């Protein structure tokens, strides 16, 4: 009986995505690289234009959100409550193009900071539907039916 309990206690838990990525330093590095790329590559200028001039707090919030979303400490939720990510993005016009730019920038940040290709791919695959969910505007269709 005792050995059964001991075995249960020492059984390895499956690693979270947060752990697989390398924990806080790597998640932090991804958020940093993401905003560094956004600020330095003119391809992302439309995305950058939606952000405050000082990107430090945007970077910190992205790190805090990713930390909890990946199964690590829920830092964003602890500070700001439920993420309600779509609602938080409603003040910004996000169409297919913005969504694509965001994902492109994130793909590059992951390539630069996450060594394991499979972990990188899994994270990007999980981010695609989330980024889709942020879309709140139809590209090329400023007039809606009924208006």
Q: Is 81 in the site for ligand HEM (CB under 6 A)?
A: no
Number of residues that bind ligand HEM (CB under 6 A): 22
Count of C-beta atoms within a 10 Å radius of residue 134: 16
Please report whether residue 107 would count as binding ligand HEM according to CB under 6 A: no
- In the chain, which residue ranges form alpha helices assigned H by DSSP? 2-10, 17-21, 23-40, 45-49, 56-69, 75-80, 85-89, 96-113, 117-133
Q: Which stretch binds ligand HEM (CB under 6 A): 8-16, 19-27, 97-105, 109-117?
A: 97-105
Choice between 52 and 140, CB closer to ligand HEM:
52
C-beta of 92: minimal distance to ligand HEM in Å? 4
Q: Is 29 in the site for ligand HEM (CB under 6 A)?
A: no
Work out which of 20, 28, 99, 120 binds ligand HEM, going by CB under 6 A. 99
Q: Does 63 bind ligand HEM (CB under 6 A)?
A: no
- Cβ(106)–Cβ(33) below 8 Å: no
> How large is the C-alpha radius of gyration of the chain?
18
Give the residue carrying structure tokens 């996450």. Answer: 114
* Among residues 17, 24, 36, 58, the one that binds ligand HEM under rule CB under 6 A: 58
Residue 134 in contact with ligand HEM, rule: CB under 6 A: yes
In this structure, are residues 114 and 30 in contact, taking their beta carbons and an 8 Å threshold? Answer: yes
Closest CA to 98 of 32, 62, 44, 39: 44
Give me the residues that bind ligand HEM (CB under 6 A), please: 47, 50-52, 57-58, 61-62, 65, 80, 85, 88-89, 92, 94, 98-99, 102, 127, 130-131, 134
């Amino acid at each position: 009986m005792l050995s059964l309990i001991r075995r249960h206690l020492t059984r390895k838990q499956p690693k979270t995505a947060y752990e697989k990525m390398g924990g806080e330093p790597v998640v932090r590095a991804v958020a940093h690289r993401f905003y560094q790329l956004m600020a330095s590559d003119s391809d992302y200028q439309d995305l950058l234009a939606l952000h405050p001039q000082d990107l430090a707090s945007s970077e910190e919030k992205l790190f805090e959100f990713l930390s909890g979303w990946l199964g690590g400490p829920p830092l964003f939720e602890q500070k700001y409550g439920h993420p309600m990510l779509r609602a938080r993005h409603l003040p910004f016009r996000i169409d297919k193009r913005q969504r694509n730019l965001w994902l492109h920038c994130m793909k590059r940040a992951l390539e630069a900071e996450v060594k394991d290709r499979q972990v990188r791919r899994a994270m990007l695959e999980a981010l695609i539907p989330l980024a889709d969910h942020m879309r709140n505007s139809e590209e090329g269709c400023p007039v809606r039916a009924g208006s």
